[in-house]
Structure 1
Amino acid sequence: MLQGLGFGSIEKMEIRKGRLVQRTNTDYVIPTALDFPKIESAIITNPYDKGPFGAKSAGELTFVGAPVAYALAVRNALGKNITEIPVTPEYLMEVMNNE
């Protein structure tokens, strides 16, 4: 979940002239557990008979949905059209100043 929210809010890979602008880990900001509120999780036992050791993948779903949900939440809160992900503070300022 945090990875998806980070992708929706602050993780930005910028390309200029065919090259990545963020060249090191200090240039590419990712959130940590301290950046988000505590998330309550639960382990539900329901083995999947087709998966190894009864396991079933689950991480991809939160990664796909979370960035879009974040952008839509910002749109609903501000009443402004959001057309880019990540919705960085800089992008929000641009959106707010252009309308």
Structure 2
Amino acid sequence: MKGQCTTGKHRRIKRWEHEDVLEAVQSRLDQKPEMMRLRRQTVEHPFGTLKAWMGATHFLTKSLKNVSTEMSLHVLAYNMKRVMKILGTKGLIQAMRA
């Protein structure tokens, strides 16, 4: 790390307070690179789909509370569409009644 320091009288290294978390994640990925492939297959697709649904403007609301609500509605719609594809509409209604 010394090479990243300044050559001035007072040498300093800037480090984010949670840098250790990032290093731990990177270490786990280095040990098991196939986990990133699995993550891409399971997690990245829903977010890509939601992003496409939302269009270029992304969120229509402002403030964290409203954006959180809007995102929750998008996720709910995505999950309901997936369940309808898997179980069908009748299966979804039956599951909701159970």
- In the superposition, the TM-score normalised over structure 1's length comes to 0.29
Greater strand proportion: 1
Greater helix proportion: 2
